[in-house]
Amino acid sequence: MREKQTFSIGEIAKIHNIAESTLRYYDQIGIFQPKIVDPKSKYRYYTMDQFAQLDIIKFLRNMEIPLSEIKQYIHRRNPAIALELLEKQQQMVSRKQQELALVKEILDDKIAAIQTGLRAEPFTVSFKQLPSRTIASIELGAKTSDEMLDYYITSLQNDLLSLDYTLFTGDIGISIAQTALLQKNYQNYNRIFIVLRHSPEQNEHLTKLPAGMYACMYHRGPYEQTENTYEHLFEEIAIRGYKISGDALELGVIDLSVAQEESEYVTEMQIPVVTY
């Protein structure tokens, strides 16, 4: 006959709102096992004094502590070990909070960039004092195909992943050498890059875009149809008494990841300038 204050696996699952399969797994790996075995039926039962132990396990799992560490803790717990376990998890939670804050900042920036791109007036040039920006980049050969550009972007992203910089990544851009720009070779790209936000320690894989004044304008439409945009930028640069001082940058605002139609693409052109 079953003793009072004993509970089957189904009853425990219902009382504690936990799946029977989870309880069976806990039993299998030795974290939480039935305390009583009926000598006749061989049925196994949990007891009420095990409720607190299961609550501890659920609490630790809700904090995403690995089962291997929970098992060690359950079998040799004391205040010192409890403090060590919780402090370790506290550090992990702090790291996750920092990562989530970065993710939120990336989302905020992307939303703001798309909204700005959608509102941008055509052929409106602004002059911005921009800070130095850290980038990961790859030099391009002459007449690089679109397929190769996609390959280089993937390579850059994989490099950043291997360096654990993925949470720092920002806009993807491409540049045109100053000499090619002045010769009006607007498709003669010389470098593809990814801008890093909150850039980590400088290393051999990273370079910087120089700080300074930039003539900026949003281009709408395919990348191959930028001639009118650049011509208008050149006119405004001359009118304002500036001259071009470096490579032109094209930063994707609304691109393939956001729009299916090339006519909806928005690219921010940035040309570094100085006064005569």
Profile the chain (276 residues) by mean pLDDT over runs of 10 residues. Answer: 75 94 94 89 90 92 90 88 89 88 85 89 92 89 76 79 64 92 92 79 76 96 92 95 96 88 93 93
At 11, which helix (H) or strand (E)?
Answer: helix 9-16
CATH superfamily for domain 121-275? Regulatory factor, effector binding domain (3.20.80.10)
Cβ neighbourhood burial of 45 (10 Å; 0-12, 13-18, 19+): buried
The pLDDT score that the predictor gives to residue 1 is: 46
Backbone torsions φ then ψ of 6, nearest 5 degrees: -115, 155
- pLDDT, position 163: 66
Model pTM score: 0.69
- The confidence score (pLDDT) of residue 158 equals 79
Domain chopping of the chain, boundaries: 6-77, 121-275
Q: Given this model, what pLDDT does residue 142 score? A: 72
Q: Note the pLDDT of residue 76.
A: 86
Fold designation for 6-77: Multidrug-efflux Transporter Regulator; Chain: A; Domain 2 (1.10.1660)
Q: Which of 251, 163, 157 is nearest to 200 (CA)?
A: 163
pLDDT score of 38: 84
